[in-house]
């Protein structure tokens, strides 16, 4: 079932809730520039295994409202708190992909992990998506500036280019078109605003040490967006965490090795 949750004055977030009768809940946070539909291959199978799967469309993306502002990690973490409270969620597993993983980490630090008993980070954009003098593993600033420029000048072409670096395995043209359409459902200003957030000193080194729940880190070794050293830094920074490398995946392991992702999540949650 799908419904809306108001998280801020005049801002409503779209939520998809599958198998709501289960007491084993996973709340999925999508990556940039997609929406909750990117987890189609988790929502197809995990409910069959007894899990309740909830996906949100972050503000500015998918079916959610698309305000002009509010795209920093603090505001997005506050949106998540509002959704968790509105749905009366407790003892959930919070699973975030890419920027969704960064939002999950900020939520754990900013809100003390309210309602969350376990955390899953899937190709998470943390502790820094951008290369820095003290952390030389992220994307170069110029690469992100190119994404922002492309968003304002030819967003469809930018999305096609991003899709080309997203996956390690070969995909059909039909799949590529489907993923491309997910990005087009976002507002152009929201798409650019999140990319600007990566640039504006949005980093999560301090946040990692504030996570106090069991954490599963799933990451493709061929990831060209959030490179594998980011996962190793997450493992070092988060107590009680486990890193599982995906040898045949890039940034899209939720599809490229979907059976393994689903199996690892089910084993982790129990």
> Tens digit of pLDDT for each residue in 209-260?
999 999 999 999 999 999 999 999 999 999 999 999 999 999 999 999 999 9
Domains of the chain: 2-269 (3.40.50.1820)
Gyration radius (Cα) of the chain, Å: 17
**Which residues are tagged catalytic?**
98, 223, 251
Tell how strand 25-29 and strand 52-57 pair up: parallel
Q: What is the pLDDT of residue 194?
A: 96
Q: What is the pLDDT of residue 201?
A: 65
The parts of the chain modelled with pLDDT lower than 70 are 201
The full 3-state SS of 91-143, as one line of letters, equals CEEEEEECHHHHHHHHHHHHCCCCCEEEEEEECCCCCCCECECCECCCECHHH
CB neighbour list of residue 185: distance below 8 Å, 6 or more residues apart: 35, 61, 62, 63
User: What's the predicted TM-score (pTM) here?
Assistant: 0.97
Q: What is the pLDDT of residue 199?
A: 87
CB 205 within 8 Å of CB 165: no
């Amino acid at each position: 079932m799908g419904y809306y949750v108001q998280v801020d004055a005049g801002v409503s977030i779209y939520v998809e809730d599958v198998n709501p009768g289960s007491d084993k809940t996973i709340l999925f946070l999508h990556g940039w520039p997609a929406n909750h539909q990117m987890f189609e291959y988790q929502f197809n199978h995990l409910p069959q295994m007894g899990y309740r799967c909830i996906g949100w469309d972050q503000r500015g993306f998918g079916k959610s409202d698309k305000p002009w502002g509010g795209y920093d990690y603090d505001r997005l973490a506050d949106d998540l708190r509002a959704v968790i409270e509105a749905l009366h969620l407790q003892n959930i597993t919070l699973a975030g992909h890419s920027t969704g993983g960064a939002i999950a980490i900020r939520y754990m630090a900013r809100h003390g992990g309210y309602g969350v008993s376990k955390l899953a980070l899937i190709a998470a954009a943390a502790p820094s998506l951008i290369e820095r003098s003290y952390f030389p593993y992220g994307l170069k600033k110029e690469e992100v500036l190119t994404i922002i420029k492309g968003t304002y000048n030819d967003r469809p072409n930018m999305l096609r280019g991003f899709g080309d670096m997203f996956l390690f395995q070969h995909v059909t043209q039909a799949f590529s078109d489907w993923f491309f359409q997910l990005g087009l459902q976002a507002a152009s200003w929201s798409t650019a605003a999140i990319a600007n957030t990566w640039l504006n000193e949005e980093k999560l080194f301090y946040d990692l040490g504030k996570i106090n729940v069991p954490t599963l880190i799933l990451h493709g070794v061929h990831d060209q967006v959030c490179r594998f050293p980011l996962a190793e830094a997450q493992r070092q920074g988060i107590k009680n965490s486990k890193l599982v490398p995906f040898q045949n995946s890039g940034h899209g392991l939720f599809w490229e090795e979907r059976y393994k992702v689903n199996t690892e999540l089910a084993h982790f949650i129990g």
